[in-house]
């Protein structure tokens, strides 16, 4: 076998190779990333004692949980937009919806769920259901 052939074969082997130490690195890395601090945008809320702030990460996580509780729908992406004084103005929820479901019904259910969760989180400063946009991706399509 020529050196060129050796190199080509070794290259293919390296391309398919995963260093044995990667598994340990991966575990440690995910643990460190989970604990790593990264500033999150504030979202203003209000209750009887005054205003408070909730991290955008927390808002998104709460909304994701609310959406995922809706049958046949899964949150693919949730984007919050804040305006002046960090007041939440809009929420866009990208949804993956099982093929065959009524899109309008699923979207309406999701909007209600998101609106309710926003009310719980932010109080009177919740933008309400009208500010929630649902973008649907239909999945698991089975054409005849």
Binding site for another protein (CB under 8 A): 1-4, 6-7, 9-11, 13-15, 17-19, 21-22, 24-26, 28-30, 32-34, 36, 38, 40, 55-57, 60-61, 74, 76-80, 96, 99, 103-104, 107, 133-141
> For residues 59 and 125, which CB has a smaller minimum distance to another protein in the complex?
59
Report the C-alpha gap between 95 and 7 in whole angstroms.
47
Q: How far is the CB of 124 from another protein (least distance, A)?
A: 24
Give whichever of 90 and 96 is closer to another protein, judged by the CB atom. 96
Residue pair 117/39 in contact by the 8 Å Cβ criterion: no
DSSP 39: -
Smallest gap from residue 126 Cβ to another protein (A): 19
Which residue shows structure tokens 């946009």?
133
Least distance from C-beta 79 to another protein, angstroms? 7
Q: Which is nearer to another protein, 24 or 50 (CB)?
A: 24
Place of tokens 């699923």: 106
Q: What's the chain's length in residues?
A: 144
**Please, what is the minimum distance in Å from the beta carbon of residue 3 to another protein?**
4
Strand-strand pairing, 73-82 and 88-98:
antiparallel
Can you tell me which residue has the tokens 């259910």? 109
When the beta carbons of 88 and 134 are compared against another protein, the nearer one is 134
3-class DSSP state of 135: strand
């Amino acid at each position: 076998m020529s050196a060129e052939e050796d190199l080509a074969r070794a290259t293919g082997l390296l391309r398919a190779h995963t260093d044995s130490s990667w598994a340990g690195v991966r575990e440690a890395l995910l643990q460190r990333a989970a604990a790593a601090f990264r500033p999150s945008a504030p979202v203003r809320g209000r209750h009887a004692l005054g205003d408070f702030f909730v991290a955008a990460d927390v808002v998104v996580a709460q909304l994701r949980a609310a959406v995922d509780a809706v049958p046949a729908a899964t949150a693919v992406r949730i984007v919050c937009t804040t305006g002046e004084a960090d007041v939440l103005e809009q929420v866009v929820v990208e949804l993956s919806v099982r093929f065959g479901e009524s899109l309008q019904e699923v979207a309406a259910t999701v909007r209600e769920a998101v609106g309710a969760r926003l009310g719980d989180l932010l109080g009177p400063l919740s933008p309400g259901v009208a500010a929630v946009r649902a973008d649907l991706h239909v999945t698991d399509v089975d054409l005849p």
